[in-house]
Amino acid sequence: MKLVIRHGRKTIALAATLFLSSGLCALGIQQAAATEPQLEKAIQGGQALFVHETFGGNGMNCQSCHVNGGVGPGKLPNGTAIPSLSNAATIFPRFNSKAEKVITLEDQLMNCIAGGLQGKPPTYGSVQLTLLVSYVTSLAQGKPLDMGGKPQ
């Protein structure tokens, strides 16, 4: 995914990077200090999907429920409080008693897209799913691993 802004005949890639970075700061998100530029691009791309993509569903996006980029407590459309995603990457895989199986972070993201957004989830191994996983994982930077733990 290449993010560029075109102005006349000039391409201003730096402006796109600054725009996305400032958007993360405006949301109060502490972005992971990725040492690899490609990982940083994946995190930024995932954040853009999180904030803007509806996946062809009901017009909502991830941030519709998981406010502030997922770092703070959120609310479902019916007003039910939900935890932040700040430790989501540290608690998966985990056992889902309703599904009676172990689910991964990828499974959970796809379930949220299909259920909450009533959209078409990206397929396993797709660029979109990789970007979303990269972003949600970046929110847990520095948190201890707690497989099977509770969302915070």
Give yes or no for a contact between 112 and 82, defined as CB atoms under 8 angstroms apart: no
Give yes or no for a contact between 2 and 11, defined as CB atoms under 8 angstroms apart: no
Q: Per-residue pLDDT tens for 66-102?
A: 999 999 899 998 999 999 999 999 999 999 999 899 9
d(CA 72, CA 126): 27
d(CA 70, CA 52): 13
| Domain spans in the chain, listed from the N-terminal domain onward | 6-138
Query: Which stretches does DSSP call E strand in 6-137?
Result: 6-7, 10-11, 74-75, 81-82, 94-96, 101-103
Q: Per-residue pLDDT tens for 111-136?
A: 999 999 999 999 999 999 999 999 99
**How is residue 20 annotated by DSSP?**
H
pTM of the predicted model as reported, rounded to 2 decimal places: 0.76
For the domain spanning 6-138, the CATH number is 1.10.760.10
The tokens for 92 are 């998966």
